Amino acid sequence: MNNISLKITNPEKHIQAQNINANNNLSDKQKRKLEKASRDFESLMTSMLLKSMTKTTEGGLFGEGGYGGDVLDTIFEGELSSYMTRSQSMGIADMIYQKLTGEKLPNANLSMKPLSRPGKIEIKKNDSEVPSIAPSGNAMKRLGKYDSVIKDAAAEFGVSENLIRSIILTESAAKEKAVSKVKAKGLMQLMDGTAREMGVANSFDPKSNIFGGTKYIAAMLRKFDGDVEKSLAAYNAGPRNVEKYDGIPPFKETQNYVTRVLGYLNHFEEY
């Protein structure tokens, strides 16, 4: 496929929609779809800009002689454009979203959200009954070492202390050096990419890990309007999968994960 040269003198001119009135009666689900479409469009525009810039670099970003360099260029451009759209948006997605909804585009970069001291997030549980699960004595002993950190993180991000405890028990059994088969790390099992987004430099540092994990679950709770099952599923499988299936994805691991966290949560709430 031939490279596409992109020249933009006035980005706003290309997205000035005619005869589109802001619709204030859209459902949350419709708005999320429009949000995704707006961001995807900006990501595509960013990718095209990066392709034009890459053409000026002899041999591409990874060099002409490197094996698979053309494939790596494509992957890197896609990932970089997606990251740029999430973190340092050009404003195109926001303009499109405002044209269609009359509202400002929600901030996608979770690490940039003003989550400090927001007030406690109200958790909404669904009708499904999950039996309580009592943690082992050893796990509770390990968990007890982090009580003060959990309290601070809960106050900072408005998340229930018991929910944080339940996630830690499910993720790592409160083992601060835990590493999963997919390289998730620490008490709340942060992937490296998520840790970076949450501002966590060392996932094996208990305080950093708990604050990073709490910040992320807080963002998921806000994204899914306090629905704890969807938020936990997003913590485990990613928010896109939850949006795709409009609920807990049909993944056995995720379903078991949500059930286990809720089981611990019910146990703590009984005492």
Residues serving a catalytic function are 171
Which residues, 6 or more positions from 86, have their beta carbon under 8 angstroms from its beta carbon?
39, 108, 109
Dihedral sign, CA of 15, 21, 23, 29? Answer: negative
CB 73 within 8 A of CB 54: yes
Question: Which residue reads 């997205």 in tokens?
Answer: 15
Closest CA to 222 of 99, 84, 119, 91: 119
DSSP string, 8-32: -S-GGGGG--SS----TT--HHHHH
Provide the residue count of the chain: 271
Closest CA to 196 of 268, 111, 134: 111
CB atoms within 10 A of CB 9: 6
CA 181 remoteness from chain centre: 20
